[in-house]
């Protein structure tokens, strides 16, 4: 499973990219606003840090302007993925981007039929928002399973990018249910390797080793 970070904090990205376990980055208008920096500058800096896909979202809502914005974003670096909303205008833009070789991430997906339409339009990634569905009394992982079944049945190439991830359990379930990727906050990324029994076990090992008075080096 590919792991993306959902952040515009380039200092954090630079730190976590050193693990060699980071596959890409997603951004959105809210994260750009929080950064307090020019969007094109932030995306360029992220692309210099991360070799994998970097999603940059258009602000327009009509197809023609989405295409202009998307082409400008895609020109920043070869790994930029143009992020568009799951609307009719967005899907029309995706079709045009797909034909011109520009990668796309269709965002704000909340149903399997929306995901099917995005795949038919030629989306590179589909972003189902599992956490937001959970917030409204649904089970976001049901959507991951439904999309996986449809994509496998019809051999769609679009990758499922589980979004609105809140917890390690979300990441685990997305992996179990066949998501190709998950985009997660930095703290959840760090928490993926944590377990209290690991900490206790290491503490015991180190204590016992110290008693031997030995050194490997």
Task: Report pLDDT for 193.
Answer: 97
Domain hosting 141: range is 2-212
Task: Report pLDDT for 163.
Answer: 98
Average pLDDT of the residues of the chain: 98
φ/ψ of 141, rounded to 5, equals -70, -25
Contact in structure between 150 and 112 (CB atoms under 8 Å): yes
How would you classify residue 178: left for phi > 0, otherwise alpha for psi between -120 and 50, otherwise beta? left
Alpha helices in 25-129, H assignment, sequence order: 29-35, 39-49, 63-74, 88-99, 112-121
Model confidence at 31, pLDDT cuts 50, 70, 90, reads very high
Task: Please count the other Cβ atoms lying within 10 Å of the Cβ belonging to residue 79.
Answer: 17
Give percent of the chain above pLDDT 90: 100
Task: Report pLDDT for 53.
Answer: 98
Task: Report pLDDT for 199.
Answer: 97
Task: Report pLDDT for 98.
Answer: 97
Task: Report pLDDT for 150.
Answer: 98
Whether 196 maps to a domain, the answer reads: yes
Distances in Å between the alpha carbon of 206 and those of 70, 196, 200, 209, 217?
A: 53, 16, 10, 5, 16
pLDDT in tens, 82-122: 999 999 999 999 999 999 999 999 999 999 999 999 999 99
Question: Considering its fold, how many domains does the chain have in total?
Answer: 1
Query: What would the mean pLDDT of 26-52 be, rounded to a whole number?
Result: 97
Reported for 144-147, long-range contacts at CB under 8 A and 24+ positions apart, including other chains, are: 144/173, 144/174, 144/177, 144/178, 144/179, 145/177, 145/178, 146/112, 146/115, 147/112, 147/115, 147/116
DSSP helix/strand/coil, 212 = helix
Task: Report pLDDT for 161.
Answer: 98
CATH of the domain at 42: 3.20.20.70
Q: pTM here?
A: 0.96
Indicate which residue of 83, 92, 120, 211 is catalytic. 83
Alpha helices in the chain, H assignment, sequence order: 10-17, 29-35, 39-49, 63-74, 88-99, 112-121, 130-135, 140-154, 168-176, 186-191, 196-212
pLDDT in tens, 123-163: 999 999 999 999 999 999 999 999 999 999 999 999 999 99
DSSP helix/strand/coil, 216 = coil
Task: Establish whether 83 is a catalytic residue.
Answer: yes
Whether 73 maps to a domain, the answer reads: yes
Task: Report pLDDT for 141.
Answer: 98
Task: Please count the other Cβ atoms lying within 10 Å of the Cβ belonging to residue 18.
Answer: 10
78 closest CA partner among 96, 52, 57: 52
Whether 217 maps to a domain, the answer reads: no
Residues 6+ apart with CB under 8 A from 61: 85, 87, 89
């Amino acid at each position: 499973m590919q792991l993306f970070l959902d952040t515009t904090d380039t200092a954090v990205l630079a730190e976590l990219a050193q693990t060699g376990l980071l596959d890409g980055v997603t951004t959105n208008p809210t994260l750009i606003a929080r950064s307090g920096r020019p969007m094109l500058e932030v995306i360029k800096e992220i692309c210099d840090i991360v070799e994998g896909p970097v999603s940059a979202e258009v602000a327009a809502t009509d197809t023609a302007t989405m295409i202009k914005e998307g082409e400008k974003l895609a020109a920043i670096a070869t790994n930029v993925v143009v992020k568009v909303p799951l609307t009719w205008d967005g899907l029309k833009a995706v079709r045009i981007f797909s034909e011109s070789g520009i990668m796309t991430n269709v965002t704000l997906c909340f149903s399997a039929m929306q995901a099917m339409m995005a795949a038919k339009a030629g989306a590179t990634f589909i972003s189902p928002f599992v956490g937001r569905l959970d917030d409204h009394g649904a089970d976001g992982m049901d959507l991951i399973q439904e999309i996986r079944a449809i994509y496998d049945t019809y051999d769609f190439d679009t990758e499922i990018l589980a979004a609105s991830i809140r917890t390690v359990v979300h990441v685990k379930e997305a992996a179990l249910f066949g998501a190709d990727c998950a985009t997660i906050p930095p703290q959840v990324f760090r928490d993926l390797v944590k377990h209290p029994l690991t900490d206790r076990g290491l503490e015991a090992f180190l204590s016992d080793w110290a008693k031997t008075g030995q050194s490997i080096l």
